[in-house]
């Protein structure tokens, strides 16, 4: 039976040291709640890439296609020859394709983020008994999932690096 | 060891380990001379290859220094030795002034508006040979002075500090002449650079715009594009970044700088390369779209002769793919930016793209009416190798003479 234990850190470097020590002791299932994304911490806990990137990719591809199909549709309906160019010709569409790629990509990223974090609802946070409001400002909370017999080791390491422990 | 001692040690090992490849590059130089000789019989073939390579390598050298200047102006700390390797290019800039003598000799033989003065009708006040050569020479000399002073005052405080700590200097005595103590020298360097660097960046834009207009655009005197100068100096920085990446990858193990030239730094410079890939293509595209849409006869011939017939059509597609499509797609994932060898392969592809772009811009203008022969052959490749030879010799010479690991970056990389 695994149990969850959390420690709140005021400093980033102590947090990273604690993560490294925990990893040496064989703890692998860890999560950090932090006020801003931080690559050093993400690297330390061997963070796997989030699936949000896929939303961006498909949003971008959708934007690219729309950026081509929209003007192509409009041009083929209007049928006005401009400067002797073919009615459906790529160069002027590229600007629109580019803009819509970025727009749709950004919106899809937003949507993906909201979907994956269930954002407008607070249920995830309410269920989280260790949630600390300071993690939205200037503190870092480290959650460690540990087997019941090793929980005291985890607690000892967390306290050693100056964390406030909850379990 | 304190951070400072480690920093000095890193510099000492780096300088001691600069590879001794002078003979290899000398061989390249000889190959270049052979190539030039081979091309002499075929009209202006060698001369135009010289012209392209002059533009390309002057751009690389100045672009590398400008990269360092931008890094300095923005108070960047992320670059570390990467930016120093960019700054090493400063040694090649006086050489470009010397190589400009070649341009002075070549210009009357290849400039279309000198051969046929009707082409410059109405523009004689700007397009006349004397003014052309004098203004470009002066512009290059101004940039040389700016670059040398910039590099001198970036290096001087560090060289002086090292001399104070070690007793004897690792670097040429000129860097530590009249040394007045660390505090005072650092303050002086900061005061001078604070004014000099922004001015230098501004002058760079003007000078390299003019070189772009004069040495590339004037070869097709009827054609004009206002953005061409900006496009030229942006691609010069692009090549400077690409060469910096390639040199750093080669030098990483040799100079024992694996700790300092770490993956995070390559990641950052890779992002900058990615940005310049997009920016230079944006500038190319902005010119293309306007000409394509307007379809005015005084502008569109320039594109038509480069994009509608083989072999130029093929080369134009290669430019688009090597300069944009391949680097753009390849640099999207994180891994390619973090692995130096992968990143330098991509940098090499984009360098080939820009080189082909210079070649197509210049060569197509110089043989109007023919344009059916594939323009890049053994002569062009050998002459380019010759330029690689000069560049390599100068860079190796310079790498032994400047501190390759900057002080501030070493402290931030030490944790």
- Rounded to an integer, the average pLDDT of B173-179 is 83
- Rounded to an integer, the average pLDDT of B246-273 is 89
With contact defined as beta carbons under 8 Å apart, do B296 and B225 qualify?
A: no
- Rounded to an integer, the average pLDDT of A9-24 is 85
Q: Determine the distance in angstroms separating the CA of B362 from the nearest CA of chain A, rounded to an integer.
A: 24
| 3-state SS class at B242 | helix
B295–A83: do the CB atoms touch at under 8 Å?
yes
More confident residue, A116 or B91: B91
- B414 falls in which pLDDT band (50, 70, 90)? very low
Strand (E) or helix (H) holding A8: strand A2-9
Is residue B412's pLDDT more than 60?
Answer: no
In the numeric block, which tokens belong to residue A18? 């604690």
Euclidean distance between CA atoms B308 and B314, whole angstroms: 9
DSSP-derived secondary structure letter, A3: E
Report yes or no for ipTM above 0.90. no
Q: Report in angstroms the alpha-carbon separations of B403 from B88, B90, B191.
A: 10, 13, 21
- Rounded to an integer, the average pLDDT of B133-152 is 95
pLDDT for B415: 40
More confident residue, B72 or A132: B72
Q: Which ranges constitute the DSSP H helices of A9-163?
A: 12-24, 39-44, 52-78, 90-117, 123-127, 151-160
More confident residue, A152 or B273: B273
pLDDT for A117: 81
In the numeric block, which tokens belong to residue A145? 């999932």
Is residue A128's pLDDT more than 80?
Answer: no
Closest CB to A83 among B285, B288, B293: B293
Contact residues for A36 (Cβ-Cβ < 8 A; gap 6+): none
pLDDT for B66: 96
Contact residues for B295 (Cβ-Cβ < 8 A; gap 6+): A83, A84, A85
pLDDT for A55: 93
Euclidean distance between CA atoms B227 and B287, whole angstroms: 7
- B413 falls in which pLDDT band (50, 70, 90)? very low
Question: Which residues in chain B are contacts of A85 at CB distance < 8 A?
Answer: 293, 295
Render A129-140 in DSSP notation, one character per residue: TT--GGGGTT-E
Render A42-67 in DSSP notation, one character per residue: HHHTTPPPPTHHHHHHHHHHHHHHHH
For the beta sheet containing A140-147, the strands, ordered from the edge strand earlier in sequence to the opposite edge, are A30-33, A140-147, A2-9, A164-166
Euclidean distance between CA atoms A96 and A75, whole angstroms: 13
Q: Determine the distance in angstroms separating the CA of A40 from the nearest CA of chain B, rounded to an integer.
A: 11
Strand (E) or helix (H) holding B376: none
CA-wise closest residue to B306 among B219, B245, B186, B214 = B219
| 3-state SS class at B18 | coil
- C-beta atoms surrounding B259 within 10 Å: 14
What's phi and psi for B140, nearest 5 deg? -65, -40
A92–B289: do the CB atoms touch at under 8 Å?
yes
A83–B294: do the CB atoms touch at under 8 Å?
yes
Euclidean distance between CA atoms B82 and B68, whole angstroms: 9
Is residue B73's pLDDT more than 90?
Answer: yes
pTM of the full structure: 0.88
What is the tens place of the pLDDT at every residue in B300-353? Answer: 888 888 888 878 899 999 999 999 999 999 998 889 999 999 999 999 999 999
CA-wise closest residue to A89 among A69, A72, A65, A73 = A72
Q: Determine the distance in angstroms separating the CA of B1 from the nearest CA of chain A, rounded to an integer.
A: 22
Question: Which residues in chain B are contacts of A83 at CB distance < 8 A?
Answer: 293-295
CA-wise closest residue to B61 among B250, B268, B237 = B237
Chain A positions touching chain B (beta carbons under 8 Å): 83-85, 91-92, 94-95
Lowest mean pLDDT among A128-137, B54-63, B151-160: A128-137
Tell me which range, A40-54, B215-229, B358-372, is most confidently predicted by mean pLDDT: B215-229
- Placement of tokens 């000099």 in the chain: B196
pLDDT for B370: 65
Residue B11: is it exposed, middle or buried by C-beta count within 10 angstroms (0-12/13-18/19+)? buried
- Rounded to an integer, the average pLDDT of A146-150 is 81
Is residue B276's pLDDT more than 50?
Answer: yes
With contact defined as beta carbons under 8 Å apart, do B11 and B170 qualify?
A: yes
CA-wise closest residue to A159 among A26, A44, A18, A3 = A18
What is the tens place of the pLDDT at every residue in A36-93? Answer: 888 888 888 877 778 888 999 999 999 999 999 999 999 899 878 877 788 888 888 8
- Rounded to an integer, the average pLDDT of B182-198 is 92
């Amino acid at each position: 039976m695994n149990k969850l234990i959390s420690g709140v850190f005021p400093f980033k470097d102590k947090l990273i040291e604690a993560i490294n020590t925990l990893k040496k002791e064989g703890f692998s299932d860890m999560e950090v709640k932090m006020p801003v994304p931080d690559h050093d911490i993400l690297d330390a806990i061997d963070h796997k890439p989030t699936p949000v990137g896929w939303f961006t990719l498909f949003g971008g591809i959708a934007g690219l296609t729309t950026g081509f199909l929209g003007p192509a549709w409009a041009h083929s309906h209007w049928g006005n020859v401009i400067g002797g160019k073919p009615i459906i010709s790529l160069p002027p569409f590229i600007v629109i394709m580019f803009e819509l790629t970025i727009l749709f990509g950004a919106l899809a990223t937003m949507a993906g983020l909201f979907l994956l974090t269930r954002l407008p609802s607070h249920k995830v946070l309410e269920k989280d008994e260790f949630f600390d409001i300071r993690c939205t400002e200037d503190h870092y909370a480290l959650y460690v999932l540990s087997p019941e017999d090793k929980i005291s080791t985890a607690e000892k390491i967390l306290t050693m690096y100056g964390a406030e422990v909850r379990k | 060891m304190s951070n400072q001692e480690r920093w000095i040690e890193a510099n000492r090992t780096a300088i001691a380990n600069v590879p001794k490849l002078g003979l290899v590059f000398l061989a390249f130089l000889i190959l270049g001379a052979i190539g030039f000789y081979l091309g002499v019989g075929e009209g202006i073939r060698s001369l135009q290859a010289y012209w392209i390579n002059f533009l390309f390598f002057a751009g690389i050298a100045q672009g590398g220094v400008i990269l360092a200047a931008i890094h300095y102006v923005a108070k960047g700390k992320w670059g570390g030795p990467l930016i120093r390797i960019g700054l090493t290019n400063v040694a090649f800039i006086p050489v470009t002034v010397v190589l400009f003598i070649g341009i002075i000799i070549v210009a009357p033989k290849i400039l279309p508006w000198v051969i046929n003065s009707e082409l410059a009708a109405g523009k004689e006040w700007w397009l006349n040979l004397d003014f052309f050569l004098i203004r470009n020479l002066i512009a290059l000399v101004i940039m040389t002075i700016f670059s040398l002073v910039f590099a001198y005052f970036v290096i001087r405080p560090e060289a002086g500090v090292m001399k104070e700590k070690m007793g004897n200097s690792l670097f040429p005595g000129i860097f530590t002449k009249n040394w007045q103590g660390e505090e005072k020298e650092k303050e002086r360097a900061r005061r001078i650079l604070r004014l000099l660097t922004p001015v230098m960046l501004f002058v760079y834009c003007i000078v390299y715009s003019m070189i772009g207009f004069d040495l590339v655009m004037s070869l097709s005197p009827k054609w004009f594009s206002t953005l061409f100068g900006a496009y030229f100096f942006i691609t010069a920085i692009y090549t400077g970044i690409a060469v910096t990446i390639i040199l750093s990858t080669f030098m990483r193990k040799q100079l024992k700088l694996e700790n300092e030239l770490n993956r995070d730094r390559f990641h950052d410079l890779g992002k900058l390369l990615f940005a310049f890939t997009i920016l230079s293509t944006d500038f190319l595209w902005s010119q293309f779209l306007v000409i394509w849409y307007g379809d005015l006869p005084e502008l569109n011939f320039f594109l038509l002769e480069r994009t509608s017939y083989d072999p130029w059509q093929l080369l134009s597609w290669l430019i688009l793919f090597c300069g944009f499509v391949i680097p753009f797609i390849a640099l999207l994932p994180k891994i390619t930016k973090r692995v130096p060898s992968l990143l330098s392969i991509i940098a090499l592809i984009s360098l080939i793209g820009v080189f082909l772009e210079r070649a197509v811009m210049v060569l197509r203008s110089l043989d109007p009416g023919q344009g059916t022969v594939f323009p890049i052959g053994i002569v062009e490749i050998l002459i380019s190798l010759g330029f690689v030879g000069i560049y390599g010799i100068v860079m190796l010479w310079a790498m032994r003479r400047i501190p390759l690991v900057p002080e501030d970056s070493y402290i931030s990389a030490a944790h």
